[in-house]
Amino acid sequence: MDTTSLVLLSNQMALLRSVDVISNNIANSSTTGFKREGIQFETWMSRPTSKQSTSFVFDKATYRDMTPGTISTTGNPLDLAIQGKGYFQIQTPTGVQYTRDGAFRTDDQGQIVTSSGMPVLSDGGQPLVLPAIATDVTIAGDGFITAQVGTSPTRAQLGKIGVVQFDNDEAVTPTNNGLLTTTQAPQPVVGSNVLVQGAVEESNVKPVLEITDLIRMQRAYEQASNLIGQKNTQMSDAIDKLSSVSS
């Protein structure tokens, strides 16, 4: 394969990777707390001679757009949206992971869990349990949970939702079920206005923009394919002509 075809092929591979990333964004445009991903390209230059150079393109890495999504009211008192930086801590079978998806509920044991049933952890790293007789559950902006328990004349404090942050959000990587993992040490988010009760953060994906980018990438991929086809046809014709002359 000649240099021109190799350059076009490297462009095609980068475009195909872009299509995959954009398609994943579109698929998660309605996923609570999802952050869109982008792709970073880099050019590698080859210099076979001092007077000649060839540039190849490749995808260097993906990055996450941490722009906040719209906070939407749900009316569910256990739903929580994070304002600003931060993640909820979730206990999974493989260890603690993190999420910004605050669509929570209680399970049969009264534990506050994610929509897939994994326990949400307190600021001390323990599961949060609401008594069966607890009513009028309130979660303050700083994460403290209070409720009316039975006929007690005073409201009971039932724990505190743990919200943490990391030095480098780019080093927090997606796993599955809207969860994220990192090797960084979590740091508590401190503040009196961190959480919004009865609301969730929507995905920050803008479907119209993503679909426009997808169409643009697909067209560029088709153009590269056509150019490779034309180059191969030219080469085949040249070989046929040389064969006829030599015979």
Residues 31-80 have pLDDT tens digits of: 999 999 988 766 655 555 555 555 656 666 788 899 999 999 999 999 99
Given this model, what pLDDT does residue 9 score? 65
> Would you state the pLDDT for residue 202?
96
Q: What pLDDT sits at residue 226?
A: 74
Residue owning tokens 């299509």:
19
Helix, strand, coil shares of the chain, percent, nearest 5, are 30, 35, 35
Residues 6+ apart with CB under 8 A from 59: 13, 14, 17, 18, 39, 40, 41, 42
Helices (H), the chain: 3-27, 207-246
Return the pLDDT at 205: 96
Q: Collect the ranges in the chain with pLDDT lower than 70.
A: 1-10, 41-60, 228-232, 234-247
- Long-range CB contacts for residues 11-15, cutoff 8 Å, separation at least 24: 11/57, 11/220, 11/224, 12/221, 12/224, 12/225, 12/228, 13/58, 13/59, 14/41, 14/57, 14/58, 14/59, 15/217, 15/220, 15/221, 15/224
pLDDT of the residue at 58: 60
Look at residue 244 in the predicted model and tell me its pLDDT. 67
